[in-house]
Amino acid sequence: VIDRDDVIDRYFASIKLNLIDLLKKDTDSGEFAIDLLMIGKYLERIGDHATNIAEWVIFSVTGTHKEVQS
């Protein structure tokens, strides 16, 4: 789960760039593009939450949290 978060982040960045290109070509698609951007962002946030849960599961098993490790 933790390793896949970077993949999801890259997908979101790609979606954002594609939507920017769409808006440059078709300014009438603004509402549609914003809806898609919001959906993409929500999915990206779900990935972030899943990562946080995975990190806390690791902590509950190992007693070490990723951010505390040196």
Q: Which residue, among 36, 67, 59, 48, has the nearest Cα to 4 in the 3D structure?
A: 48
Confidence of residue 13 (pLDDT cuts 50, 70, 90): very high
pLDDT for 70 equals 45
DSSP 7-70: HHHHHHHHHHHHHHHHHHH-GGGHHHHHHHHHHHHHHHHHHHHHHHHHHHHHHHHHS--TTT--
> Does the model's pTM come out above 0.85?
no
Confidence of residue 64 (pLDDT cuts 50, 70, 90): confident
Query: Stretch 55-62: mean pLDDT, rounded?
Result: 94
* For residue 32, pLDDT beyond 80: yes
Q: Which residue, among 14, 15, 33, has the nearest Cα to 23 in the 3D structure?
A: 33
pLDDT for 68 equals 53
